[in-house]
Amino acid sequence: MGRRARTRRAARTAALLAATVTASLVAGCTGAGDDGRGPTKEPRHSPQGSPREPVPSERGEHPAVLAVKLDNARAARPHTGLDAADVVYVEQVEGGLSRLMAVYATRLPQTVGPVRSARESDLELLRQFDRPVLAFSGAQSRLLPLIDKAPLEAKSPADASGAYFRGTDKPSPHNLYLRPDRLLPSAPGAKALTTGFRYGAAPAGGTAETSRTVRYPAARFTFTWSDARDRWLVTMDGRPAVTDGNRLAPATVVVQYVTVRASEFRDFLGNNTPYTETVGSGRATVLRDGRAHDVTWERERAQDGTAFTTDDGTPVNFARGQVWVVYAKAP
């Protein structure tokens, strides 16, 4: 049976299972507005010695980044392996909640999670990378054909069951984890990060900033500058955000103002899935070194990275270290 057939059969099975669950039970388990279509055919634990499926770098192609779609409901926290990501993207999903897309290139953690389902706008976001490996728990059946056609390597539990396992620390569906070494032989390296980001000395100007908050209808992110750590400490919904016992602390935070519109998709509760447009141009705020810089962003084509410049066209450098990009609805 081909990968597409297996994936579609898994999606149909998941949909039938989800239909038997009452709306109140789902709201209590997954959080309001979630799609409710959890992964299928994944093992309860990761079997030893499971074969890894070939990825672009093993077929003589360019090294590929690993992009993992992460649950960010309260019940899913704390995350695992998030501090190893080179870039963390934050996007709005159904019900005004949020999800994360963690991109790994320079190092791979032992475990990443919890892993959740993909969205249509993820495909546009990931076009900037050269055939990335996308790890996700599943997707709506109508979205699966678009994922199949996208220039990426889709690796859900239906495609690579040996790479996933269920943890015991959280209730399902917030307990699906990935072992990255089952998908990639090694970290592809910084050259695979074709984001267009530049690193170096801080731009001139800016204003002193100790804290910046970004609000979604049902989620809130606060980034507080720490002189002691020379990093921005992350708070989610009023609570310190940690991973593997450590406070999440990116070197650079980008609040990128974009168009967030309704898509053609809805979850099984009837909530519309927002589509975050990451191609185009607009305003952004770059937070680094305890200062805020108001800049312009531009991504002309989906296959391009995003350029950040000052008003006079000077490229803006980021601080070396992890970068968070928070997509906020343009005013």
- Cβ atoms 75, 171 nearer than 8 A: yes
User: Do the domains at 3-41+61-192 and 198-329 have one common CATH topology?
Assistant: yes
pLDDT digit string, tens, across residues 23-70: 333 333 333 334 433 333 333 333 333 444 555 545 445 579 999 999
Provide mean pLDDT across the span 15-28: 35
pLDDT over 90 percentage in the chain: 76
Q: Give backbone dihedrals phi and psi of 237, rounded to 5 degrees, phi first.
A: 50, 40
User: Which pLDDT score, from 0 to 100, does residue 203 have?
Assistant: 93
Provide mean pLDDT across the span 131-156: 96
Q: 3-state DSSP call for residue 12?
A: helix
Token duo for residue 264: 């053609």
Per the model's pLDDT, the better-predicted residue between 240 and 36 turns out to be 240
User: Which pLDDT score, from 0 to 100, does residue 57 have?
Assistant: 47
User: Which pLDDT score, from 0 to 100, does residue 271 have?
Assistant: 78
Lowest mean pLDDT of 23-37, 101-115, 154-168, name the range: 23-37
User: Which pLDDT score, from 0 to 100, does residue 54 have?
Assistant: 54
User: What letter does residue 229 receive in the DSSP assignment?
Assistant: T
- Please state the length of the chain: 331
Q: What are the CA-CA distances from residue 50 to residues 66, 183, 303 (Å)?
A: 19, 11, 34
The residues spanned by each domain of the chain are 3-41+61-192, 198-329
Beta strand pairing status for 323-329 and 87-92? parallel
Calpha distance 112→81 (Å, rounded): 5
Give residue for tokens 């801080």.
Answer: 202
Instruction: Give the class (CATH, top level) of 198-329.
Output: alpha beta
User: Which pLDDT score, from 0 to 100, does residue 130 have?
Assistant: 96
Model confidence, pTM: 0.84
Instruction: Give the class (CATH, top level) of 3-41+61-192.
Output: alpha beta
Token duo for residue 150: 């996208």
